[in-house]
Chain A
């Protein structure tokens, strides 16, 4: 018996399972009796103590496999769908993988990994397993162009904030997210659904947004999360009018005032909050006052999360951060005092901190550092703008200038483009230093969003 009781996911699924489901665009799986069923063909015992690569083509089987594997496997590495296959070998070596859970067993036949377990639906009956250990959850960071880093978590760290907040008030929630649950933001929602007694509706990258919203409605989704880019896309699609969730959550990118206000108009009866979290730093905090940024008094120690600002970037220390980067040449995740540098740059204005951008996302304009997000936030404040992207363009005169691509709100008269451009420029000149004012504004139909739900900044 270990000195401290270990809770795995299965131990959170003891009571009150009736009526709860996990579903995607194709299947609905009832959580009733889920502990006496298996997605692994009854082979869970073979994976005991193993370092398991979870490489499945869908979220539903991934989620079911996580429920089974947690507390049994030594570690499991979650592979998001957009993982570059060329990086797999390095990740497998770094994580010491010795087993794969897959839906494509043929692809792994000659891989040198001895244990290949096929995940399959429908579920089969099995004897319920008992938690053996605290499984290490390995998650991949997003946003880097090279091999992603592996961040190691425990279930306790991943669910710290969920347990601290306690069960959601009111009727049992039905959760959904535009994220993939194999990414930190999506996994948070999946774990909330498992721990909070609710159901969950998974996203499907091949489904049109309108069909997705129809499905969210049909399944009675009440709580839903996504990045500001996901939400802007929904607001642009016109599909939001059919949808009335109780709780709308933003995370993963800067939630500027424009998107918060847009959501308030689209969902007048919903609570709207933005959360700060990252794969490395874990869940930092949630802001529910409808305003961008966060109150300055969030710094210091607040319900177990310590935050400080050093050299402009937000640093976080808590029991919810990842505990290490995994791999032979892995850098230290935290400084000597245990603070994780988020790389997110904040600025104090009055009694609030505002996010201005990522340290790595700085563009250089004539030798001056500019955060594209800061410019986008100003452009997005124009009532006719739905979304924008600022970037640098080389200039023979100054080395670089700022240019911006802008998506106008639905139904904007194209004849007003010149007038709107002038108004945006006036707005920028009033609120930004002159080198940050876009030299050129282009109106575009769409902006690329990465599979992780973030505005693509590949050329920034």
Chain B
């Protein structure tokens, strides 16, 4: 499974659990518009770390948190292997 589909699948799973109705997940969608609160993002990052072995937001101290779904996915795609 590609990194992108892993991320999207995890977002959808957490949305289901948190009873969040997601809009269509385009790259331009701002993370704010997903309806996720900070707890939902924290869950997402933790689960993706378990699945992929990386947490791109902790690796670098000054890593900016992404603004859009596309940025978020790329943060995982761009982690050096």
Q: Which residues of A contact B (CB under 8 A)?
A: 366, 393-398, 401, 403, 422, 425, 429, 434-435, 439-440, 442
Contact = CB atoms under 8 A, between A and B. Distances in A.
B38 A440 contact: no
Nearest to A396: B57
A439 B46 CA distance: 7
Contacts of A401: 39, 42-43, 46
Contact of A397 (B17, B38, B47, B50): B38
B39 A393 contact: no
Contact of B55 (A366, A396, A403, A439): A396
A440 B43 contact: yes
Contacts of B65: 396-397
B72 to A, nearest CB: 12
Nearest to A425: B17
A439 B47 contact: yes
A440 B45 contact: no
Interface residues of B, number: 14
Contacts of B58: 394, 396
B81 to A, nearest CB: 20
28 contacts: A366-B39, A366-B42, A394-B58, A395-B42, A395-B46, A396-B57, A396-B58, A397-B41, A397-B42, A397-B45, A397-B57, A398-B39, A398-B42, A401-B39, A401-B42, A401-B43, A403-B46, A422-B17, A425-B17, A429-B17, A435-B39, A439-B39, A439-B42, A439-B47, A440-B46, A440-B47, A440-B50, A442-B50
B47 to A, nearest CB: 6
For the complex of A and B, 6 pairs with smallest distance between CB atoms: A439-B43, A396-B57, A397-B42, A398-B42, A395-B42, A401-B42
A443 to B, nearest CB: 12
**Interface core residue of B46, B47, B58 (most chain A CB under 10 Å):** B46
B46 A393 contact: yes
A395 B47 contact: no
A401 B50 CA distance: 14
Contacts of B42: 366, 395, 397-398, 401, 439
